[in-house]
């Protein structure tokens, strides 16, 4: 196992529900977050708060620059349908990635002194499965 630099990461996203995933162009960052619901289970006489674990969650984000050559973020934000996503930490090893169906929200921002940026937040619409990632 070795450390990786983020420059070779890649996000694939289907342009339509049920479509094939393709690379999202002009992205420069991604994130994935796994957290678990924690329900308060504190009872009389406990000396501190206590919790029990519930369901795990999967969500994340990616961002970069608007590129009119790839419109998958626009479609994903407008139709409200789930779509396939693949997130590769490094394209130099295509045997390690996360995949699953996600719901995507996207936003775009432009200004006179910078490139138009694109950002998206996603939430799991099904299982997010790690392949080759432990």
Sequence-distant (6+) residues with CB within 8 A of 125 are 82, 100, 101, 102, 103
Sequence-distant (6+) residues with CB within 8 A of 89 are 4, 6, 9, 96, 97, 133
Query: Domains of the chain (ranges plus CATH)?
Result: 6-35+54-131 (2.30.110.20)
pLDDT average, residue stretch 35-64: 97
- Residue 78 reports pLDDT greater than 70: yes
Tokens of 64: 């970069």
Q: Give me the chain's average pLDDT, please.
A: 93
- Residue 27 reports pLDDT greater than 80: yes
- Residue 79 reports pLDDT greater than 70: yes
Q: Is the dihedral of CA 5, 24, 69, 110 positive or negative?
A: negative
pLDDT average, residue stretch 11-15: 93
Tens of pLDDT, residue by residue over 84-122, are: 999 999 999 999 999 999 999 999 999 999 999 999 999
């Amino acid at each position: 196992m070795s450390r990786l630099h983020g420059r070779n990461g890649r996000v694939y996203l289907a342009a339509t529900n049920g479509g094939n995933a393709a690379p999202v162009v002009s992205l420069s960052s991604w994130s994935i977050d796994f957290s678990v619901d924690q329900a308060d289970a504190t009872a009389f006489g406990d000396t501190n708060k206590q919790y029990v674990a519930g369901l795990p969650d999967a969500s994340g984000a990616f961002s970069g620059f608007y590129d009119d050559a790839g419109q998958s973020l626009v479609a994903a934000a407008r139709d409200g349908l789930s779509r396939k996503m693949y997130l590769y930490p490094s394209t130099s090893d295509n045997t390690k990635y996360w995949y699953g169906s996600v719901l995507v929200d996207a936003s775009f921002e432009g200004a006179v002194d910078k490139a138009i940026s694109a950002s998206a937040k996603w939430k799991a619409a099904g299982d997010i499965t790690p392949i080759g990632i432990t």
